[in-house]
Amino acid sequence: MKLSFTKKLAAITVILTAGFFISCAAEGNSDISELKVGMECAYAPFNWTQTDESNGAVSISGGAYAAGYDVEIAKKIADGLSMKLVIVKTEWDGLLPALTSGKIDAIIAGMSPLPERLESIDFSDSYYTSDLVVVVKKDGPFADAKNLDDLSGARITGQLNTSHYGVIDQIPGVIKQTAMDDFPTMIVALNSGKIDGYVSERP
């Protein structure tokens, strides 16, 4: 189902504290041996958590492994800087504080460069841009929806503190639900019938 929202998400970017790469270059990387990259590790196909090293996975600080497109980009950046990659699994709401406090060096995530974010952090060019869609059950009451009007009366949510949640207001007659913490939680809510759909990127 393709639905048209008035805003596309500039999906995947590398987000850095201002001056991070400048300082690395100035120091010749002599004092920085690790590149600590924050991501949720719960946003497949871009990043997810698994129990082994398959799929090119990298160990997560604190246990388990992370894989996905974001991890592959992180590996390329770390290799280019001759640094050891450390994936720091971080809740969505904790990514920006972790970056600005220096707990991590970069975020690789589906985060749009909103004006309020640009006040404190820098964004790379995005390496992937996606359309937003509403995910519904294939055997649910909104499975045949073809446009936003067809979702009138649907209970729709999105992830907390994301642009996904904000675009729900564009759906006529929608019953906007409380935002949820992460995608696994929304998937469970959809499968259990608590919601009729959630906003996501197409992949």
Q: Are 168 and 151 in contact (CB under 8 A)?
A: no
Alpha carbons 184 and 190: distance in angstroms, whole number? 10
- Same domain for 123 and 136, yes or no, is no
Q: Which residue has the higher pLDDT, 120 or 89?
A: 89
Q: pLDDT by residue (tens digit) across 21-59? A: 434 433 444 455 999 999 999 989 999 999 999 999 999
Domain boundary among the residues 129, 151, 175 is at: 129
HSE (CB half, 13 Å, CA atoms) of 161? Answer: 11
Share of the chain above pLDDT 70, in %: 84
- Same domain for 89 and 185, yes or no, is no
Q: Assess if residue 4 is contained within a domain.
A: no
Closest CA to 38 of 109, 101, 93, 100: 109
Q: Which domain holds residue 174?
A: 131-201
pTM of the model: 0.73
Q: Are 158 and 199 in contact (CB under 8 A)?
A: yes
Q: pLDDT by residue (tens digit) across 186-203? A: 999 999 999 999 999 888
9-17 and 128-130 beta bridge pairing: antiparallel
Domain boundary among the residues 98, 129, 160 is at: 129
Confidence of residue 62 (pLDDT cuts 50, 70, 90): confident
